[in-house]
């Protein structure tokens, strides 16, 4: 009996909790408050990061972050950048704060006294590093690692907000979206989808690495009107056996590892590769991997470069 009464009580209480609240929402105050310059944003590690105002000095811990900072017009605020940040050329003049093997020069970062350290979540910067920087009294924002172009746009706007370049970031996103729409419109009527093999690393030519499903390379090849033969592979950085490659017989080979010395001539000389359609028709191209591996605004440059190679003459 008591149990039944208790049950009823609990049900009623739950109903009451679910019922819409009767109290009206507080009316917006009549006099607008002066705009509060402080910024509170949630970052890629789920931390809430607050800044008293837009950061006047920023240390970038990843090449994509550096590219975004310069692209939204915050280049002059960058006081330190990691070893791998080599674009745009102005970034090379900024102080190098290390980053090989994930080891940054913490002393140099502290000495720069930046308002903000822009890190990257998702494997590039370890959570231990971010905790250490925080422990030194620095404000760290870990930019989420985007997996789609839309998420990359969101990062551009986030960096615009953090550095006080909201308008530039909005304009940049609009411009990128327009270029993307132009590509989509040009590709839509095409029926042919050339098959593409994108090489990431051929240190072991018997099992080279290619970009698998989920990677930006895979998405951009599809968007550029091609078929990535690596799209069947589960990993973003996937080893493909040469036997599979010969069966797939790609029409186009893109050498993302051109920076490591791979050339169309070397590819043609690999045993068995001379039978590939791409090699016989001479459609083996060096490709700037930085355009598709760094999650920043240059992904759209990468997309256009892919369209030019896959469908020559399609874009002006």
Partner 1 sequence: MQTRPYFLTLLFLLLAIALSVAVGSVFIPPADLWRVLTGRPPQEVTQAAAILLDLRLPRTALLLLTGAALGGSGAAYQGLFRNPLADPYLIGVASGAGLGAVAAMSLGWPYTTLGLLAVPLAAFLCALLTVALVYSLARLGRTVPTTNLILAGVAFSSFATALTSFLMLRSQDEVRRALAWLLGGGSVAGWGAVLAMLPYVAAGLAGLLLSGHTLNLLQFGDDQAAQMGLPVTRAKTLVLVAASLATAAAVAFSGIIGFLGLIVPHLMRLWFGADHRRLLPLSVLGGAGFLLVADVLARIVLAPQELPVGIVTALVGAPFFLWVLRRAKGQGIW
Residue 134 or 304: which CB sits closer to partner 1? 134
Taking CB under 8 A as the binding criterion, the range among 19-27, 129-137, 251-259, 270-278 that sits at the site for partner 1 is: 129-137
* Distance separating alpha carbons of residues 42 and 40, to the nearest angstrom: 7
Strands 140-143 and 58-60: unpaired
* Distance separating alpha carbons of residues 66 and 313, to the nearest angstrom: 32
Q: CA of 147: how far to CAs of 59, 77, 176, 228, 271, in Å?
A: 24, 27, 17, 17, 36
Query: What residue has token string 């459609």?
Result: 283
Site string for partner 1, 67-96 (x = CB under 8 A): ----------------x------------x
Residue 60 or 145: which CB sits closer to partner 1? 145
Residues 209/200, Cβ–Cβ less than 8 Å: yes
Cβ 234 to partner 1 shortest distance, Å: 10
Q: Applying CB under 8 A, does 57 fall inside the site for partner 1?
A: no
Task: Report the number of secondary-structure helices (H) and strands (E) in the chain.
Answer: 12, 13
Strand residue runs (E) in 221-292: 227-228, 237-239, 252-255, 284-286
Q: Applying CB under 8 A, does 214 fall inside the site for partner 1?
A: no
In whole angstroms, what separates CA 178 from the centre of its chain?
19
- Total of residues contacting partner 1 (CB under 8 A): 37
SS3 59: strand
Residue 155 or 195: which CB sits closer to partner 1? 155
Q: Applying CB under 8 A, does 124 fall inside the site for partner 1?
A: yes
Cβ 231 to partner 1 shortest distance, Å: 17
Residues 84/178, Cβ–Cβ less than 8 Å: no
* Distance separating alpha carbons of residues 233 and 302, to the nearest angstrom: 22
Cβ 166 to partner 1 shortest distance, Å: 27
Q: Applying CB under 8 A, does 177 fall inside the site for partner 1?
A: no
Cβ 184 to partner 1 shortest distance, Å: 30
Site string for partner 1, 228-267 (x = CB under 8 A): -------xxx------------------------------
Cβ 124 to partner 1 shortest distance, Å: 7
Q: Applying CB under 8 A, does 123 fall inside the site for partner 1?
A: yes
Cβ 127 to partner 1 shortest distance, Å: 5
Measured from the Cβ of residue 32, the count of other Cβ atoms closer than 10 Å reads: 7
Q: Applying CB under 8 A, does 204 fall inside the site for partner 1?
A: no
Q: CA of 90: how far to CAs of 67, 136, 164, in Å?
A: 10, 28, 20
Find the binder of partner 1 among 68, 129, 251, 300 (CB under 8 A): 129
Positions in the binding site for partner 1 (CB under 8 A): 45-47, 83, 96-108, 110-111, 113, 122-124, 126-132, 135-137, 145, 235-237
């Amino acid at each position: 009996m008591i149990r039944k009464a208790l049950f009823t009580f609990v049900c009623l209480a739950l109903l009451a909790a679910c019922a819409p609240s009767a109290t009206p929402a507080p009316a917006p105050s009549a006099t607008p408050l002066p705009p509060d310059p402080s910024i509170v944003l949630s970052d890629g590690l789920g931390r809430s990061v607050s800044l008293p105002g837009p950061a006047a000095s920023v240390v970038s811990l990843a090449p994509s972050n550096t590219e975004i900072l310069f692209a939204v017009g915050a280049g002059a605020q960058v006081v330190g950048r990691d070893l791998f940040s080599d674009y745009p050329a102005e970034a090379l003049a900024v102080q190098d704060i290390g980053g090989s093997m994930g080891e940054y020069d913490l002393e140099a970062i502290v000495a720069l006294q930046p308002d903000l350290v822009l890190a990257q979540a998702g494997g590039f910067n370890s959570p231990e590093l971010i905790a250490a920087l925080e422990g030194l009294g620095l404000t760290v924002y870990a930019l989420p690692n985007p997996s789609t172009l839309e998420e990359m746009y969101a990062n551009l706007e986030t960096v615009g907000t953090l550095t006080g370049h909201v308008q530039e970031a909005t304009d940049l996103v609009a411009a990128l979206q327009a270029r993307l729409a132009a590509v989509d419109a040009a590709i839509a009527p095409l029926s042919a989808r050339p098959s593409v093999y994108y090489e990431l690393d051929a240190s072991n030519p018997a099992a080279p690495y290619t970009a698998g499903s989920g990677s930006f390379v895979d998405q951009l090849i599809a968007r550029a009107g091609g078929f990535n033969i690596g799209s069947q592979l589960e990993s973003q950085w996937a080893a493909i056996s040469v036997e599979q490659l010969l069966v797939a017989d790609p029409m186009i080979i893109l050498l993302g590892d051109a920076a490591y010395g791979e050339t169309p001539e070397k590819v043609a000389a690999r045993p068995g590769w001379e039978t590939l359609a791409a090699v016989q028709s001479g459609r083996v191209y060096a490709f700037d991997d930085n355009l598709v591996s760094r999650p920043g605004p240059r992904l759209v440059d990468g997309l256009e470069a892919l369209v030019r190679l896959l469908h020559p003459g399609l874009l002006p």
